[in-house]
Amino acid sequence: MTSAALALSLAATGCEKPADAPAPEAAAEEKAAESSAKAGAAAEKAAADLEKAGADEAATPKAPAEKAAAPAPAAPPSFDAPPDVAAPPADAEKTASGLASTVLKAGDGGEKPTAEAVVEVHYTGWQSSDGEMFDSSHKRGKPAQFPLNRVIKGWTEGLQLMSKGEKRRFWIPAELAYGNVPSRPGAPTGQLVFDVELLGFEEPPKIETPADVAAVPADAKKTASGLAYKVLTPADGPKPTAESMVKVHYSGWTTDGKLFDSSVKRGRPASFPLNGVIKGWTEGVQLMSVGEKTRFWIPAEMAYGETPKRPGAPAGMLVFDIELIGILGGK
């Protein structure tokens, strides 16, 4: 029994209050303290309940937040013929050659490729006559790369109008494409329409014309056939035979200093059987060691002749700088 209860019991029986019994004021204070203790315990219990509820909530896995919707993938290019495939619109840009074009997407407005640049493009081509799609890098799933001066005239001229990132539609007359009656089997005919996107381009390194291109210098060596040569960079590697497959870098000039071909400008070496080229090459490269670089003056009769039969072949004596990179096979 508590002290407060004992005091109440004694008062009810008329007995005297014992000496150690609390006074009435102390009993009131004790009762208030007891109430406060109970309230404190209740508060502690409420806090414990709240803490437990928080722990339970933390332990309960939450539904993941909804992720932002991913952007829709770009629409695949259409291979359907454009509505103006038959003829260029009135507002199309035209050049003196007859090439017409319209800008479909502006580029970065920076530098434009030269005719000698190696370009990277995506494109699709249609025949104007029937709207038939005959070629597309998009359909193959990868861009095309090539030297700009090694394609049809309409492409060589047209892509020089573009900056990186630009997309154009070209209407290329037959005479700037494959003609109305193509000599190449399977080539498209007549006017062609191309949608071309210029992804990028790289200009070839500058190649200086040799000072002695016009004539054989006095210090050049000569063979019995009339082939003249001069070693520019010596090496002591193995030498190929006429049956060897060789890998080379080269540049070739006519005697007026015109560069007509160069693997260096294309940015990749050439490989071929040594007995499958002009006579001057077959004989000359056999004189070289792997790693060597030599300049050759090849007489017309050991090259393409004074009047070449092959269209576009250079005439007369030719000058080549050749670097023998390796021997790939053969005897």
- pLDDT tens, residue by residue, 15-27: 333 333 333 333 3
Answer yes or no: 261 catalytic.
yes
Catalytic residue among 250, 296, 321, 325: 250
Can you say whether residue 316 is alpha, beta or left, with left for phi > 0 and alpha for psi between -120 and 50 degrees? Answer: left
Q: Does any domain span residue 38?
A: no
Number of domains in the chain: 2
Determine the structural domain holding residue 277 and report its residue range: 221-329
Same domain, 270 and 196: no
* pLDDT mean over 229-248: 97
Same domain, 238 and 324: yes
Q: Give tens-digit pLDDT for 255-300.
A: 999 999 999 987 889 999 999 999 999 999 999 999 999 999 999 9
CATH number, domain containing residue 297:
3.10.50.40
What pLDDT score does 71 carry? 61
The mean-pLDDT minimum among 154-163, 171-180, 201-210, 240-249 falls in: 201-210
Q: Does any domain span residue 51?
A: no
Q: Give tens-digit pLDDT for 80-119.
A: 999 999 999 999 999 999 999 999 999 999 999 999 899 9
Same domain, 227 and 196: no
Distances (CA, A) of 314 to 177, 284, 301, 309, 310: 23, 18, 12, 10, 9
Q: Is 90 exceeded by the pLDDT of residue 31?
A: no
Same domain, 183 and 225: no
Query: What pTM did the predictor assign?
Result: 0.55
Same domain, 192 and 234: no
Q: Give tens-digit pLDDT for 47-75.
A: 455 444 444 444 444 455 555 666 665 56
* Cα separation, 327 vs 325, whole angstroms: 7
Same domain, 104 and 153: yes
Q: Does any domain span residue 160?
A: yes
Q: What angle do CA 178, 182, 188 make, to 5 degrees?
A: 65
* Cα separation, 153 vs 172, whole angstroms: 9
Same domain, 197 and 97: yes
Same domain, 323 and 236: yes
* Cα separation, 109 vs 314, whole angstroms: 37
What pLDDT score does 329 carry? 80
Written as six digits, the tokens of 226 are: 């009339």
At residue 205 the predicted structure's pLDDT band, cuts being 50, 70 and 90, is confident
* Cα separation, 159 vs 168, whole angstroms: 9
Answer yes or no: 250 catalytic.
yes
* pLDDT mean over 159-173: 98
Catalytic residue among 304, 322, 325, 327: 304
Answer yes or no: 304 catalytic.
yes
Q: Does any domain span residue 163?
A: yes
**Mean pLDDT, all residues of the chain:** 84
Catalytic residue among 152, 212, 261, 272: 261
Q: Does any domain span residue 63?
A: no
Out of 202, 237, 264, pick the residue that ends a domain.
202
Q: Does any domain span residue 36?
A: no
| Matching residue, tokens 């800008």 | 103
Contact yes or no for 302/279 (Cβ under 8 A): yes
Of 148, 252, 243, 152, give the one whose Cα is nearest residue 204: 148
Answer yes or no: 260 catalytic.
yes
What pLDDT score does 152 carry? 96
Q: Does any domain span residue 260?
A: yes
What pLDDT score does 59 carry? 42
Catalytic residue among 123, 178, 296, 320: 320
* Cα separation, 91 vs 202, whole angstroms: 31
Q: Is 80 exceeded by the pLDDT of residue 207?
A: yes
* Cα separation, 287 vs 229, whole angstroms: 10
Q: Does any domain span residue 41?
A: no
| HEC profile of the chain | CCHHHHHHHHHHHCCCCCCCCCCHHHHHHHHHHHHHHHHHHHHHHHHHHHHHHHHHHHHCCCCCCCCCCCCCCCCCCCCCCCCCCCCCCCCCEECCCCCEEEEEECCCCCCCCCCCCEEEEEEEEEECCCCCEEEEHHHHCCCEEEEHHHCCHHHHHHHHHCCCCCEEEEEECHHHCCCCCCCCCCCCCCCEEEEEEEEEEECCCCCCCCCCCCCCCCCCEECCCCCEEEEEECCCCCCCCCCCEEEEEEEEEECCCCEEEEHHHHCCCEEEEHHHCCHHHHHHHCCCCCCCEEEEEECHHHCCCCCCCCCCCCCCCEEEEEEEEEEEECC
Q: What's the start-to-end Cα distance of the chain, in Å?
A: 120
